[in-house]
Structure 1
């Protein structure tokens, strides 16, 4: 929540879903040997073309710049103090002061169409206040935005009673009616500032993020604390109705869902983008819990897989984690992955997209086609 995760538009290599390495060779080392059954759904790995030397140097330089900025990165968040005087921000500060009279605003981190983020202090303690933007009241999705904000407030309050095994900002205060949330400001920087990053995090950072997500997914809090934010049947019907899923795609996904009817669900962050993972000195800190709840296993992994298209090693790690729980865990991950990719396509494939964004959109379509084929292969093995 501390920085805006914008859409990345890199020119990246085409990826593919591969069978296990026992049949297909080492991942990332080119096409599988002759005779390999590419329809084998027992594994979901990624094959990416080797980068050119110039690309390697550019990626290395980007990683070095990120490493130099490993500590708290607030310089990029500094905004002209005049932004504190805009009508929307002044209204937000007034609402914050109602629940935190000692709040002293310092800088505007984000003033968007949905949320306003303001960094400040309460005494000597650095905090971040998140408020619903006045523009959201004029949006056709206003009620949905309010419900999500209320859900995030409820999640943070639940975490006070049931502390999760991952790091997250401490709740300072909240106003449910005015949609205000005040949290401690954690020192650190987002794992990526773009939704689809050009420069992927370093291998060590990827391992840390996956470890935090995996730890959260294995946590079992009381079942009445969190709900189920995603209606899988409704999502399949929605994407089918707009033509993103064919009749066969929808039938295959419903077939996998039927086989997962008795599988225990998993607590997920629900929006595990790299921009919602702060890399703090003590480890990853997860923020923006608007969509937290119970999902089919592998939902967070599917989100990370969808945005890490330029990092074959990271996708291979995610694939291995997704299938470590067996056939049913694999099927759940595939259902999640198709729906996540459909959402990403619907979010970004809009009129007026620039050339770089069109390249990213084509990559999403390629990934979606590969995921569909993996689903069909999985259905054939049931």
Structure 2
């Protein structure tokens, strides 16, 4: 996995389609510029197809968007996964992207509304990274309208095979800047109860008694006045490359529903976990965590272990679903594409378990140095 041993992860030898969002908010080195005419429109498509079930979703989405933005005219469909629909279009002379959750009373509604709340906060307090600027929203109907950002997705999957080196450098720089930002109090929630997170995965069978003991030891060491006074750092909460849009002006972070206060290094751990095929960047992240001292190293390892555990659980559920989908055609006497997809997910699951074992050894080594 590694080209050389990592100082933070020790004892291991060298080991939905393109998206666009809204015009980014500037970073700290970007000065406001006077607009020179209308914004560039989203690339046009060959019309919108209003036939079938998707057509019904499109008509519903257009009605909601135009109720909030009467001047909105759709140009193209950016995404539709059956639960959430994203449209690019124009609102007057401004290019915008409208994202609508189709079931505002469903299980995804709370996360969507947190995304809206974060964008509202960014409208008052500009972050040190580029984000889509808020145009309009309706939290009750789960609608978010932002300025359109022309660009390309940095990755089309949570665990990309071969991300570009330039994209990795830009993303790592953005994540690091965000972690150093101190927004006003109350702007973001305290997202994770770490002891409860450890206990939950122990109950589900993903962590052994030894794992719980080791992680609890690191958490106690991180606490300044007890286990409930853990250090906190603002993180995106899902800093995978699939949540980064590469615009001509640099990376734009999207999907802020999980943003909030975490142990330091959560975004770096998330990024590390998604970069199995980028050992140099992984080593750079590990060096960065090591340079933060024992507390920075321990926080990174706790974040990495728990995030990998969550990814393993997610991947196991996906494998089980792929198996069920593969069995259905065979029972019907037909052949389907499920087995190949299931095998890819099994390969990913094996790799996640390898990374998790590596993180476990690093945690035990860190406990031994305390």
1:214 equivalent to 2:214? Answer no
Measure the CA separation in 1 of the matches of 2:82 and 2:301.
Answer: 33
- Whether the aligned pair in 1 keeps the contact of 2:78 and 2:86 (CA below 8 Å) is yes
Residues 176 and 272 (structure 1), Cα distance of their counterparts in 2 relative to 1, 3 Å cut? same
1:375 is matched with 363
Within the candidate set 166, 171, 192, 2:134 is matched to: 171
Cα drift, residue 377 of structure 1: 1.0
Which secondary structure state, in structure 1, belongs to the residue aligned with residue 49 of structure 2?
helix
1:302 equivalent to 2:302? Answer no
1:355 equivalent to 2:343? Answer yes
Within the candidate set 107, 111, 116, 1:153 is matched to: 116
- Whether the aligned pair in 2 keeps the contact of 1:47 and 1:312 (CA below 8 Å) is no
TM-score, structure 2 normalization: 0.80
Cα drift, residue 205 of structure 1: 1.9
What value does the CA root-mean-square deviation take over the aligned residues? 2.2
Residues 229 and 378 (structure 1), Cα distance of their counterparts in 2 relative to 1, 3 Å cut? same
Which secondary structure state, in structure 2, belongs to the residue aligned with residue 227 of structure 1?
coil
Cα drift, residue 223 of structure 1: 2.0
Report how many aligned residue pairs link the two structures.
316
Residues 239 and 308 (structure 1), Cα distance of their counterparts in 2 relative to 1, 3 Å cut? same
2:198 is matched with 236
Deviations 1:276-312 (A, max 9, x none): 1111111111111101101000100011111100111
Cα drift, residue 80 of structure 1: 6.5
TM-score, structure 1 normalization: 0.78
Cα drift, residue 95 of structure 1: 1.1
1:96 equivalent to 2:65? Answer yes
Runs of 4+ off more than 6 Å = none
Measure the CA separation in 2 of the matches of 1:90 and 1:121.
Answer: 17
Residues 105 and 48 (structure 1), Cα distance of their counterparts in 2 relative to 1, 3 Å cut? farther
Which secondary structure state, in structure 1, belongs to the residue aligned with residue 183 of structure 2?
coil
- Whether the aligned pair in 2 keeps the contact of 1:110 and 1:117 (CA below 8 Å) is yes
- Whether the aligned pair in 1 keeps the contact of 2:9 and 2:359 (CA below 8 Å) is no
Runs (5+) with no aligned partner, structure 1: 1-14, 17-27, 33-40, 50-71
Runs (5+) with no aligned partner, structure 2: 16-39, 225-229, 324-340
Deviations 1:236-281 (A, max 9, x none): 1221111111111112111111111235310000110101111111
